[in-house]
Structure 1
C-alpha cells in the first residue's frame, strides 16, 4: 500500500509549482460538502475512500450530502448555484452533464456550462438482467422472445445510464420494449425483482448479488470488457451485438468560477488517493476502474461523451420535463 506521504508531496508540489500557495493557506477553511446527485451507492463509497487521505493533506473532512432526484439534476443544480470557493462539490454519473442538458427541457441551469470537471473518479457499466419469469438465458434468447412478446424494461429515470444503455441496445437490435422509468435505481430494482417489469439495465454491483442468488437472470454487461465481478456474463459484443459499448463515468465537479489552483489541488489529491493499491483493489471489487486524468483531460472526455450521447438523444427523441 502506498503511503499517504505521497499525498503530502503532491500537495506541496501543487503549492509551489502552480503559484497556489496563497490559496493553500486559505482553502479549505471548513469541511468540504460533496453533494451526491444520486442515492447512496458507488459515488459515496469513492468519496469515503478519499476522505482519509484528503484529511491527511488538508485537515478538513469530505462531508457527503445526498440530493437525489430528476436524474441527478437536483444535486447538480444545488452545486451549480453554490459559491465557487471550493467548499461545495458534486459527485455524479457523467450523464448529468452529457445527457441531461439535452433531455430535460425546463432546467434552470446548464450542468455542462455552470459546472467544471475536476476529475473522472471511475469508469463503470450496466448489466442487462431479466426477471426469472422471462424464459431467457442469453441475449439471443431475449431477442427471439421480445419479437413475439410485449416486454418492458426498468431504469432509474429518463436519461440515466440504464435508460441510455437500453435504448442503444434496442436501436442496435431492432427490438421494441416499453420503458418504465423509476425515481432512482432502487425503486427500479425492487419492481424488477417483484416481477412488475420484465427486464432492466442497472449497475453491475447492484444486480450481481441477485443474479448469483437466482432472483434475477443476468444476460450481459454493457462494457467493452467483462466485469471483474461478473466474469460469467458476456459483454454485449460477445453476445452478438457487434461493437456495442455503453460505459459511464463517476465524475467530480465544482461550480464554474472555482479557482484553478483549488481545482488542481483537488485533482492531484483525489488522483493520488485513488491510485493507492488498496483503493484500486477495493474499487475493482465494486466494478469501478480509475484511470488517472487531469482537469483538462476530464473536460475533453466530457465533451466527447456529450457528442456521443447527443446523437443518441436526437435519434431517439428523448425528452423529459
Structure 2
C-alpha cells in the first residue's frame, strides 16, 4: 500500500518524496526515503562527482528485487532503464546541459548543480548516476580520463588491484596522479583529472595507448582486446569508456545489488586491503563522516595528456598500431579498423 508523500529539506529546497516507505532493497529492507537520506549523507561527495556534468539517470522505480533486470537496446522490457533526457515535469531548479550522441542527435540531459537535484532524482528511483567526463562549459572536451579495470571470467577484484598499482606507477612516471574507487561490482575505476584541451577521440586514443603499454608490461594479466573471445582470463582495460556517450557509475552511486553496494572512493593505501563488499548504503555514511570526499582532488587537479599522446604517436611510429573498434552502435569512425569479430572474420575468408 502506498504511503503518504513527505517533503525533505535540502538546502533551500523542499524535495517531495512520494511513497517514502516503498522498499527498494528487499534483502536489507531499505526504503525509498532511506535511499534519499543516503545520498544526502554523502552530499558533498555525490555532488562533487556530478556538479555541472550532463548526467544519465539509471532508474529502478520498482526497486531491486530478485530477477529484476535493466532494459537494453535490444530488449526494452526491463524493470529499470536509463534516462538520457530530462524527465517531463522536472522542477525548475533542475538544470540541463545539451549534448550530442555519436549519431549527432542532441539531447538535454540533467546537469546537477545542487544537492536537491540528486534527492529529486533519487525520488524517481535513480540509484546510479552516470555523469559524462565533461563539464557543461565544454561538452566536447573531456576533463577526466576514466580507466575502467574490468575483471574477465576467471579473474576477480584482487587481479584488478594488482593491475591498478602498475597503472599507478606508469602514470606516476609521467607526473600524473590517479584517484581510485571501487566500481561497486568486481572492478576498479581510476580517475585522472585532465586539462580540457583534447577531444573525445584524442582522449580515447590516449587510453588505448595506456592500455597497450600495460598489456606489454603485464601480458598475462592485462588485455585491451575488444572482442571477448580474445581476452582470456585477464583484466580488460575498457578503452571505449572514453568514447562519446559512454559513462561510468559515479562515485557514491548505488549499484543494483541485493546488498546495496556503492561505488566508493578509496585511498591508495586502502586499495590492497579494501573489497567492494565493504562499501554499502549502510556503511558509507559513517565512513564519509570520518574521511570526507576522497575524490575531491578530481575536481581541483588537472594533468596534461601529452605523455599519453606521446605513447599514441610511438605506437603508430614504432609498432604500426592505430585505432581500435568502437562499440557496435557507433557510426563508422575515421581510421577505425574493420569492426568484425575475429572468429567470424575467419569464417568469411
TM over 0.5: no
Higher relative contact order (CA 8 A, sep 6+): 1
| Between structures 1 and 2, the one with greater helix share | 1
Normalization by structure 2: what TM-score? 0.27
Normalised to the residue count of structure 1, the TM-score between the two structures is: 0.28
